[in-house]
Structure 1
Amino acid sequence: MTTLSIFDQSQPEHARTVTQNPSEIRELLATKGIRFEQWPTRDLPADATQEQILEVYSEEVARLKEECGFQTADVVSLNPDNPQKEAFRQKFLDEHTHSEDEVRFFVRGQGLFYLHFGDQVYAVMCEKNDLISVPDGTRHWFDMGPEPEFTCIRLFSNPEGWVADFTGEDIASRLPRYEALAEAGG
């Protein structure tokens, strides 16, 4: 279930707010400039290719490209049997920013976005049907867990794709990881 947990940076071991109400999540994230929506998903074969996924969601992707000026879209997909899963997880676990919005639409599975605003961190457990758009310059990181299982459509303004500027802050290491939040349901 999609969950938003809000942590105070000074007490990262306990969330002060947890909600699973989609409209409340949308409203709380909107106050921070984060776009959050839930879109219907379509049944796809487990082995669907990037081309098949983008074709099935071509109308939605075209609409976002036109609305937000995105140039490219691709699909990222990871499964627990991927031999490089730990390296992929580590790549996204440190706090970073981007010079463009980071947009993900979850077609399958789930992943955890952490969004850092001043002395608060919003942890959003996104799952199938969730679209999240993190504005450029927003400090954040992503945790896919030790056994990743997700497929996301990603949209980019920069044709080079995912380019991160790491902040060097250690905040990501001080908050509960995916395993703790997934187990606790938030």
Structure 2
Amino acid sequence: MRAYYFDNLPGDQRLPHDSNPSRPVTTELLKKLKVETFHIPLTDGYQDKIDAIAKERGYKNRDVINISKDGLGDAYEDKIKMFFDEHLHEDEEIRFLVDGSGYFDIRETPTDSWIRIAMCSGDLLVLPAGIYHRFTLDEGNKVEAMRLFKDEPKWAALNRSPDTDHNVHRVEYLKSIAQVA
């Protein structure tokens, strides 16, 4: 997994969009933003490691989503656009890439800069509730991802707006990174 500042240049969202020169983002900065990263090689026993993380974090359910033209069929283009709209969730978001590769972009606070996190199979990402983010495939155009949930599987995105800026989960997130009193 590699994190760096997004270049904000127009063009295909599936391209790396790495600045020239590159501006890497450290694991320490991600931790300050309450973003956690793990790499779990897809070898024998990887499921046990996922189970341990799920137990530690109170996750009881999971599913696997195939984000590809084959996996999503006619909904593919609409889903890719929807995933790339800036949004937040009221729950922590955990994704483990079983196959393929893609990008999660997160908003750095307080700069509002985009940080791009390049992920491939074996990478696990934990985003806190209330962080603005988006997702896109890379040029490989496919990801098989395990999604973990505390309760019943659900995926409710709240697109960024003045209302979401005041959402209780957004405010709590900002407090957790010492950005509001």
SS at match of 2:8: strand
Contact in 2 for aligned 1:26/1:37 (Cα 8 Å): no
2:41 paired residue number? 40
SS at match of 1:123: strand
SS at match of 1:84: helix
CA RMSD, 1 decimal: 2.5
Tell me which protein shows more strand as a share of its residues.
1
1:134 aligns with 2:127: yes
1:3 aligns with 2:8: no
SS at match of 2:64: strand
1:94-141 deviation digits (Å, cap 9, x = unpaired): 111111111011111111101002322111011111110000000101
2:105 paired residue number? 114
- Displacement of 1:17 in angstroms is 4.4
Give the TM-score normalised by structure 1.
0.69
Which residue, out of 59, 62, 67, partners 2:48? Answer: 59
Give the TM-score normalised by structure 2.
0.71
1:42-89 deviation digits (Å, cap 9, x = unpaired): 48xxxxxxxxxxxx7542332122211113111011334444321220
1:84 paired residue number? 75
Contact in 1 for aligned 2:65/2:147 (Cα 8 Å): yes
Distance 1:145 1:42 in 2: 24
The worse-fitting range, judged by mean Cα deviation, of 68-77 and 139-148 is 139-148
Q: What is the aligned length?
A: 149
Distance 2:82 2:139 in 1: 13
Identity among equivalent pairs (%): 24
Contact in 1 for aligned 2:86/2:159 (Cα 8 Å): yes
For structure 2, list consecutive stretches of 5 or more residues without a partner in the other structure.
10-17, 163-181
The 3 A distance-change label for structure 1 pair 18 and 106 is farther
SS at match of 1:103: strand
- State the AA in 1 paired with 2:57: C
Runs of 4+, deviation exceeding 4 Å: none
Contact in 2 for aligned 1:99/1:136 (Cα 8 Å): yes
Contact in 2 for aligned 1:98/1:137 (Cα 8 Å): yes
For structure 1, list consecutive stretches of 5 or more residues without a partner in the other structure.
44-55, 170-186
1:46 paired residue number? none
